[in-house]
Amino acid sequence: YVKNTKEILDKASREGYAIGAFNFNNMEFLQAILEAAEEEKAPVIVATSEGAIKYIGKGDIETGAKLAVEMVRTYAEKLSVPVALHLDHGRDFRIIMTAIKAGYSSVMIDASHLPFEENLRETKKIVEIAHAVGISVEAELGKLKGIEDNVVEKESVLVDPEEAKIFVKETEVDFLAPAIGTSHGAFKFKGEAQLDFERLKKVKEYTQIPLVLHGASMVPQDVVKLANEYGAELSGAKGVPEDMLKKAIELGINKINTDTDLRITFVAYLRKVLSEDKSQIDPRKIFKPVFEHVKEIVKERIRIFGSSGKA
Ligand SMILES: O=C(COP(=O)(O)O)N(O)CCCCO
Ligand code: NA
Ligand SMILES: [Zn+2]
């Protein structure tokens, strides 16, 4: 059934576990994520970026947002677990408003590329509007490295816990994504994986709200190897190790954004199926085994996040 994001995350924060926030761009990824959550008896957040809304709507934002909401609602009403639909990395005011109007459970206003005062002002504006219609809001402080859609952040700028305290108090934002060293995509760390747990601990202590980890994909090396065996070129791919995810959850992360792990799994097994079943032309027969593997990786993540059985 459809639930609001704040209730799901406040409970996770009180009880010390994390909820997966899995991105989808089409029906098959959404099916795999929801089946995984149902089988794990776990509350789940499904998310679309602005690009996903444009992709689903073939460029028309209202169509994309509406279709995303209808797809999630239609599937979710058959499930026993709570499902929330979230706008990931909202930047465009019109898209954020369209998502709220279409029925999204929560929205992220990502103004982390702006100076602190502007980020605070932008976020406050969205919170006032969203709260007026019962929608919860996520914001980001500090900058992830790598490409966030079309904005290239050369260097990551880690969150300042003192700023986080002021930011949350002034904006009344419901969830905060503190930059602690992760980045989006499959190439997260040049050398050893490293997260700034000291900052995370302080941000939780100062804000006492559910915290979000972006760029949290683990980039499983066995799947990367399989993809490369079937022609992909993903050498040097590196993600967040399991022990670091678990430590981040202990220190107060309650929403974990995962997209790349699903993408890598999709690509590896699509390449494998196509190269092994050379006469297959029925997309359903090609996609079925591929999305079984996508479902399995989502179940593995839900178990690591500690939200299995929490529905
Ligand atoms: O923080 C994340 C997920 O990051 P990851 O790339 O580690 O899956 N997201 O917000 C998902 C959208 C970014 C494109 O990947
Ligand atoms: Na988000
Ligand atoms: Zn992100």
ipTM of the complex: 0.97
The response to whether residue 259 sits with its C-beta less than 6 Å from ligand 1 reads yes
Domain boundaries in the chain?
5-225+234-259+296-305
**Mean residue pLDDT across the chain:** 96
Residue nearest to atom 13 of ligand 1 (CA): 184
Secondary structure (H, E, C), 184-248:
CCCECCCCCCCCCHHHHHHHHHHHCCCEEECCCCCCCHHHHHHHHHCCCCCCCCECCCHHHHHHH
The pLDDT tens digits for 25-37 are 999 999 999 999 9
Burial class (CB in 10 A: 0-12, 13-18, 19+), 154: exposed
Query: What's the whole-number mean pLDDT along residues 172-178?
Result: 98
pLDDT above 70 (res 149): no
The finding on whether 49 has its CB within 6 A of some atom of ligand 1 is yes
* Alpha-carbon distances, residue 49 vs 18, 46, 110, 168, 215 (angstroms): 20, 10, 11, 23, 14
Atom in ligand 1 nearest the alpha carbon of residue 239? 7
% of the chain beyond a pLDDT of 70: 96
Does the C-beta of 89 come closer than 6 Å to ligand 1? yes
Residue with tokens 């993408």: 263
Ligand nearest to the CA of 139: 2
Per-residue pLDDT averaged across 242-266, rounded? 98
Query: What number does CATH give the domain 5-225+234-259+296-305?
Result: 3.20.20.70
Q: Read off the tokens for 180.
A: 């602690």
Instruction: Say how many Å lie between the CA of residue 288 and the centre of ligand 1.
Output: 24
Q: Which ligand is nearest to the CA of 88?
A: 2
Q: Which ligand 1 atom sits nearest the alpha carbon of residue 185?
A: 6
Q: Is the CB of 112 under 6 A from ligand 1?
A: no
| pLDDT reported for residue 3 | 75
User: H helices of the chain, where?
Assistant: 5-15, 27-40, 50-56, 61-76, 93-102, 116-132, 161-171, 197-207, 221-229, 242-250, 260-276, 283-305
- The arithmetic mean of pLDDT across residues 136-162, rounded, is 80
Is residue 151 predicted with pLDDT exceeding 90?
no
Tokens of 250: 């202990």
The residues assigned a catalytic role are: 88
